[in-house]
Amino acid sequence: MTSERIYLSTTIPYVNARAHLGHALELVQADVLARYHRQAGDQVRSQTGTDDNSLKNVLAAEAEGIPVAALVDRNASAFAALAQPLSLSFDDFIRTGSDPRHRPGVERLWRACAASGDLYRKQYEGLYCVGCEQFYRATELPGGLCPEHGTRPEPVAEENWFFRLSRYGGQLHDLISSGRLRIEPVARRNEVLGFIAGGLEDFSASRSTARARGWGIPVPGDPGQVIYVWWDALGNYITAPGYGTGAGDYGRWWTGADRRIHLVGKGVLRFHAVYWPAILLSAGEPLPTDILVHDYLTIGGSKISKSGAVPGSQTADPAELAERYGTDAVRWWLLREVPRVGDADFTAARLVARANEDLANGLGNLVSRVVTLVHRYRQGRVPRPDESPATAGGRALAAACARAPERVAEALAAFDFRAATAAVWDVVDEANRYVERTEPWLLARAERDDDRAAARLLDESLALLVGACSELAIRLAPFLPDLAERIRAAVDESAGRLPTAEPVFPRLEAAAVGAVA
């Protein structure tokens, strides 16, 4: 395979509240893809950030009685700081409120669409949900309530700038149905196509400065209006690589990238798959190539509230969860348990059970056992048999190792993290089966009685098992970089012998579960 240039982005959450596990899901998914493609030799730029210019931030600051900039600074810093507890490897973090790259880019994007004749002023009346920062038609509001927030949108009447979305329905339909703009999973693609088929209406692309409380980016040439926060926020994908500032990175990472991949939650699909591509078409810029859509998490059966708080004593703060259970356990739950389609319910007990079963029992025991066997029977030196595996079990393990890379590649290409982790796990299961069937300790006993065939089989089994652990360290690195590194070190032969066996993943204590249950 040839090397590709890939630009990966997460959405940028508004920072009216602290990060919760739903944010962590998208960040970790993007991180896996970034690490995976870097490992495969691709050129990768991965980006996240925060949406500072939302009216919700203004309202949250008013509620706390602090300046908006102070609230945004505090919460944006907390989002950026998730890199450490979640072992995230993003290359860039953009804050739309303070990053000097952002405003010139948003202004340029506005002017480009104006030059295409796609922005015009119009008196408007509609029902506005501040939570969504979006106007709704009455028919879109079951019981008169916002489907995302369950709140009653407020009637708003004002003169705004409108964007001619209606012009782009045909082009968007062609791009999406042909797969040139790929939306995964397919049900989400069909949802977008259905929305487009229903007819696209122009949307309001600005707000009165008064209603926005003066927060946001003024419309170029019209200081009485600020640019609609979604327009502003979506722009981050091109302003960070330098669309507005003329930095060379824009040509490299947007127009020049082979793939421009957005990871998004289902609730913001319309903005990313309809509004954003239409804005780019209008501005004459390339579109994203892939939009990968994830569903939502619930915590202990409840929706995560806007404040990130959860009923009961469960915590949904990813930094706190990582502190308590470790980065590997949190990432593993998000990747191994959350299905590609459908919401997933988090409880700390499930996280602990999954980590203990897979990482401590399945994988951790395997690695400790293999290293211990090599020390006990070969003084820590990994045998180098020159023949290929003589037993069916040996061949099955070698085949599982050989099969894993392609299966992981296929699963990640389909945006299926569960299938990808399952593909890695087949190696763990096969290796554990192999130990049970081969019983190296019996081979060692026969070897002491001068059984040459047993000695050769013992060499073969130890070599295969160390090889499987090394393979696991490589395959797991995009998913669990920290644990993968400990496994790599555990089977590191560079000193001539393996290091003494140490647990790579100690069992999580039941007491830790009790603390949050």
Query: Which residues contact Zn ion by CB under 5 A?
Result: 129, 131-132, 146, 148-149
Q: What's phi and psi for 34, nearest 5 deg?
A: -65, -50
How many Å from the N-terminal Cα to the C-terminal Cα in the chain? 48
- Nearest distance from C-beta of residue 92 to Zn ion, angstroms: 29
Cβ proximity to Zn ion, 134 vs 347, nearer residue:
134
Q: Minimum distance from CB of 155 to Zn ion (Å)?
A: 15
In the complex with Zn ion, the residue whose CB is nearer, 149 or 418, is: 149
Q: How far is the CB of 146 from Zn ion (least distance, A)?
A: 3
Q: Looking at beta carbons only, is 146 or 283 nearer to Zn ion?
A: 146
For residues 64 and 162, give the distance between their C-alpha atoms in angstroms, rounded to a whole number: 33
CA distances to 43, 77, 266, 306, 370 from 309, rounded to whole Å, are: 38, 19, 21, 7, 43
Closer to Zn ion at the Cβ: 80 or 130? 130
Residue 421's contacts (CB-CB under 8 Å, 6 or more residues apart) are: 332, 335, 336, 479
Which residue, 85 or 131, is less far from Zn ion as judged by CB? Answer: 131
How far is Cα 122 from Cα 398, in angstroms, rounded to an integer?
Answer: 67
Smallest distance from the beta carbon of 149 to Zn ion, in angstroms? 4
- The smaller minimum CB distance to Zn ion, of residues 148 and 222, is found at 148
Nearer to Zn ion, 149 or 213 (CB): 149
CA dist., res. 207 & res. 227, Å (int)? 6
| Token duo for residue 454 | 């047993």
**Cβ distance to Zn ion smaller for residue 154 or 439:** 154
Minimum CB separation of residue 136 from Zn ion in Å reads 8
Please report how close the Cβ of residue 10 comes to Zn ion at its closest, in angstroms.
21
**Measuring CA to CA, which residue among 282, 255, 290 is closest to residue 29?**
290
Collapsing DSSP states into helix, strand and coil, what is residue 300?
A: coil
Helix residue spans in 477-506 (DSSP H): 481-490
Compute CA distances 477 → 32, 58, 292, 338, 487, whole Å.
9, 40, 22, 19, 10
Classify residue 176 as exposed, middle or buried by CB count within 10 Å of its CB (0-12, 13-18, 19+): buried
Residue whose token pair is 């998208």: 26
State in angstroms the smallest separation of the CB of 514 from Zn ion: 37
Q: Are 78 and 41 in contact (CB under 8 A)?
A: no
Q: With respect to Zn ion, which residue has the nearer C-beta, 7 or 231? A: 231
Nearest to 202, CA basis, from 147, 130, 274: 274
Q: What is the smallest separation between the CB atom of 132 and Zn ion, expressed in angstroms?
A: 3
Edge-to-edge order in the sheet of strand 297-299: 302-303, 297-299, 344-346
- 132/348 with CB nearer Zn ion: 132
Beta bridge mates, 299:
302, 346
Question: Least distance to Zn ion from the beta carbon of 14, Å?
Answer: 12
Q: Minimum distance from CB of 150 to Zn ion (Å)?
A: 8
